[in-house]
Chains A and B, each alone.
Chain A
Amino acid sequence: GENVEQHPSTLSVQEGDSAVIKCTYSDSASNYFPWYKQELGKRPQLIIDIRSNVGEKKDQRIAVTLNKTAKHFSLHITETQPEDSAVYFCAASTSDYKLSFGAGTTVTVRA
């Protein structure tokens, strides 16, 4: 099955700086790569996703890049704000609808 590795496990950034989280996947058939944000005590919620036919996607301060050859994808958050503090999960799936998640990155934005 798919194996998704996520780094780093924790990330502390100064407010206004950028944050980058990286994930690698093992199954070359994976074609969908979402990112979820989970605030403390809440459910995970989708913040951005990318498909294998696209190399980069942006939505305001967040962007995701995908390198299919190297089988890795990354989340970039610019101009971080305190409300960006949360746990972020990457995931990968093939067309069989099974999402495989990374272990998560706890992001702390220091004021």
Chain B
Amino acid sequence: NAGVTQTPKFQVLKTGQSMTLQCAQDMNHEYMSWYRQDPGMGLRLIHYSVGAGITDQGEVPNGYNVSRSTTEDFPLRLLSAAPSQTSVYFCATLRGSTEAFFGQGTRLTVV
């Protein structure tokens, strides 16, 4: 039982490149979300999904796309990377309306 698994753990991109951050869970949780963590700003919600085929925007969605074709996977796509997207990204699932389970994080640097 791996919980929430994110790949990669580290990534360096050049400005303008695109990439996909992967998130997979084996807990059968309907709710999945992506957060970014920046110093002094806590965790800010990018996009979330309440089930397969359903996604919605969070607080800071610009520059990111998501899709949810299965319960298990919730990839985050950066369309054209910018230095402002340098951050630590966390994928999380929610058990019911309570506890959030986070992946180990992806540290992204855009140069």
Contacts and interface: CB of A to CB of B under 8 A. Distances in A.
Contacts of B90: 43-44
B48 A103 contact: no
B1 interface: no
Interface in B65-111: 90, 94, 97-100, 102-105
B48 A43 contact: no
B40 A103 contact: yes
Contacts of B99: 34, 46, 49
A85 interface: no
A9 interface: yes
B43 A101 contact: yes
A60 interface: no
Interface in B30-89: 31, 33, 35, 40-45, 48, 50, 58-59
A110 B42 CA distance: 24
A81 interface: no
Interface string A1-41: 10010100100000000000000000000001010100000
Given A43-B105, A97-B50, A98-B48, A32 B98 contact: yes
Contacts of B58: 98
Interface residues of A, number: 24
Contacts of A43: 90, 102-105
Interface in A38-64: 42-46, 49
A13 to B, nearest CB: 21
Given A34-B98, A43-B104, A97-B94, 12 more contacts: A32-B98, A42-B104, A43-B103, A44-B43, A44-B90, A97-B31, A97-B50, A98-B33, A98-B45, A99-B33, A99-B45, A99-B94
Interface of A: 1, 4, 6, 9, 32, 34, 36, 42-46, 49, 89, 93, 95, 97-104
Interface of B: 31, 33, 35, 40-45, 48, 50, 58-59, 90, 94, 97-100, 102-105
